[in-house]
A and B are shown apart, each in its own frame.
Chain A
């Protein structure tokens, strides 16, 4: 375990010191990477640990964003109160979806379909709500970019970078602890073989519900972050299926069920996407859609050659236990 802690320590120091020598563009890319890393980690609790495939995780980002954003926008309620309500709302929503699925034995691809369905009708529902601004969107007042207003979670990009870095670190530690305790063992047992898990005294319904609750509560924090970082919310964008897919690409490419996979995957994908954009601009290729083609080819290559993700491959090469 020693070597792993040293590497993690170095990475932690680098990430903490990063803003000191990064320009505004690099800082925004790093913030985006950490946002996807954190959200991917949250999704990983459900899929990677407990084996329950959610293809509608954007629903928690959206609900939380609208709850905290809406309370701030309409009533000036500070986001740290909105956050609590957002977590509550998402956890309850997750538990409702989980209850419907697990009580009636819906699993595998059917569970995934159910999560898509919930995300979709939530999107349609939010399109018809006046309180959220409907399809026209909700815009939070853009703050003074140079003044720190921690109480209202308004401030310079630096503040958002450290906030999401803090969340990512906490999520990493939390997931690491969970994996090494009873819930982690029970979730993995359910993921590997639910019938055998039950025969060992595991009430799989209860433990799957716990995974959904933790995952949705964690994702709620990404939603609040999203709302206050981007300052605008559109149902079409935030609840869309492509948003749900985008959230899970990180852990899938990095390594489902691993602790470091979501972080690595988010970094690889974000840098790749931005790198392709930059590269194409430098080459002067202005063909519409070419970026997506390159992106798709790289994804395809990773899935073909490293079907378990990039991280398991690297950790084997470095002889790490993670």
Chain B
């Protein structure tokens, strides 16, 4: 469904992403992991249309989407969340989601109905009339997901939505994503530091280090890969 080919991006000579390739099959849950500064969010931002890549191609459902604007990428069927949450602070929780839902709704009352369903799914139903600025961080993360889901995406990009959640909250989120994947057929690509979530969710993992994809495989393969262990834990040395 999503195909990333030889993607590169530099910022003032610093190579953030270099020649990265991977794909996300339809209906799959894939993860992109890597240490801080590995270039994960940069890849996300290129897919989501925030920056145009210096080189490489991004194909979504057969069409090239590199260089499109963020709103065009969203209209094409890709929803995203932000690592640093960006709620519409002055609007109510419900209205935040309504804004997303309006993209593919006939009218405001339709999108309100749709938004309420999504809020229920994410456990934000009771807080729908609060201003978004009053939410705690875990709730803001849920709101990010709710808003992105409201645009009815075919592919959902999740940028560290588990960070800052307690383990039980994290497990709840994992359940939500599993449900969306299984019942609605939503394809998911997540960037994540919380390995508990990655291991529980991802069918396929790509590991990024210094902007280069150093390993790809199933979770079981990844945890045994020496290159991955080296970048996460340091090189093994004989004493």
One of A87-95, A148-156, A182-190 contacting the partner: A182-190
A39 to chain B, nearest CB (A): 24
Residues of B within 8 A of A31 (CB): none
How many residues on chain A are close to B (CB under 8 Å)?
Answer: 21
Partner of B70, one of A188, A189, A191, A198: A198
Partner of B82, one of A180, A182, A196: A196
A202 to chain B, nearest CB (A): 6
User: Is B74 in contact with chain A by the CB < 8 A criterion?
Assistant: yes
One of B21-29, B57-65, B85-93, B227-235 contacting the partner: B85-93
The answer for the CA separation of A257 and B90 in the assembled complex, in Å, is 11
Residues of B within 8 A of A196 (CB): 82, 86-88, 147
B202 to chain A, nearest CB (A): 23
Q: Are B89 and A192 in contact (CB under 8 A)?
A: yes
Closest to B133 in A: A192
Q: Are B75 and A201 in contact (CB under 8 A)?
A: yes
User: Is A168 in contact with chain B by the CB < 8 A criterion?
Assistant: no
User: Is A242 in contact with chain B by the CB < 8 A criterion?
Assistant: no
Tier of interface size on chain B = 20 to 34
A-facing mask of B83-117, CB < 8 A → 1, else 0? 00011111100010011101100011000000000
A188 to chain B, nearest CB (A): 6
Residues of B within 8 A of A191 (CB): 90
Q: Are A182 and B71 in contact (CB under 8 A)?
A: no
Residues of A within 8 A of B108 (CB): 180-182, 185
Known: A192-B88, A192-B90, A192-B91. A199 touches B99 (CB 8 A): no
Q: Are A199 and B88 in contact (CB under 8 A)?
A: no
The answer for the CA separation of A202 and B100 in the assembled complex, in Å, is 9
Q: Are A203 and B88 in contact (CB under 8 A)?
A: no
Q: Are B86 and A182 in contact (CB under 8 A)?
A: no
User: Is B128 in contact with chain A by the CB < 8 A criterion?
Assistant: no
The answer for the CA separation of A192 and B99 in the assembled complex, in Å, is 12
Q: Are B48 and A185 in contact (CB under 8 A)?
A: no
The answer for the CA separation of A80 and B221 in the assembled complex, in Å, is 77
A320 to chain B, nearest CB (A): 15
User: Is B80 in contact with chain A by the CB < 8 A criterion?
Assistant: yes
B157 to chain A, nearest CB (A): 10
B107 to chain A, nearest CB (A): 8
User: Is B69 in contact with chain A by the CB < 8 A criterion?
Assistant: yes
The answer for the CA separation of A188 and B87 in the assembled complex, in Å, is 12
Closest to A188 in B: B91
User: Is A200 in contact with chain B by the CB < 8 A criterion?
Assistant: yes
The answer for the CA separation of A249 and B191 in the assembled complex, in Å, is 47
Known: A185-B108, A188-B90, A188-B91. A200 touches B100 (CB 8 A): yes
Known: A180-B108, A182-B108. A200 touches B147 (CB 8 A): yes
Residues of B within 8 A of A189 (CB): 88, 91, 99
Q: Are B74 and A201 in contact (CB under 8 A)?
A: yes
Q: Are B71 and A204 in contact (CB under 8 A)?
A: yes
The answer for the CA separation of A195 and B80 in the assembled complex, in Å, is 12
User: Is B151 in contact with chain A by the CB < 8 A criterion?
Assistant: yes
Chain A, 172-218, CB within 8 A of any chain B CB: 180-182, 185-186, 188-189, 191-193, 195-204
Residues of B within 8 A of A182 (CB): 102, 107-108
Closest to A202 in B: B71
Q: Are A193 and B74 in contact (CB under 8 A)?
A: no
Residues of B within 8 A of A204 (CB): 71
Q: Are A200 and B48 in contact (CB under 8 A)?
A: no
A268 to chain B, nearest CB (A): 23
Pull 21 A–B residue pairs with CB atoms less than 8 Å apart, ordered by A: A182-B108, A185-B102, A186-B99, A189-B91, A189-B99, A192-B88, A193-B86, A193-B89, A195-B70, A195-B82, A196-B87, A199-B48, A199-B74, A199-B82, A200-B74, A200-B147, A200-B151, A201-B75, A202-B71, A202-B99, A203-B71
Given pairs A185-B108, A200-B103, A200-B147, 9 additional interface contacts (CB within 8 A): A182-B102, A186-B99, A189-B91, A192-B89, A196-B88, A198-B70, A199-B74, A199-B148, A200-B151
Closest 3 CB pairs between A and B? A192-B88, A201-B74, A196-B86
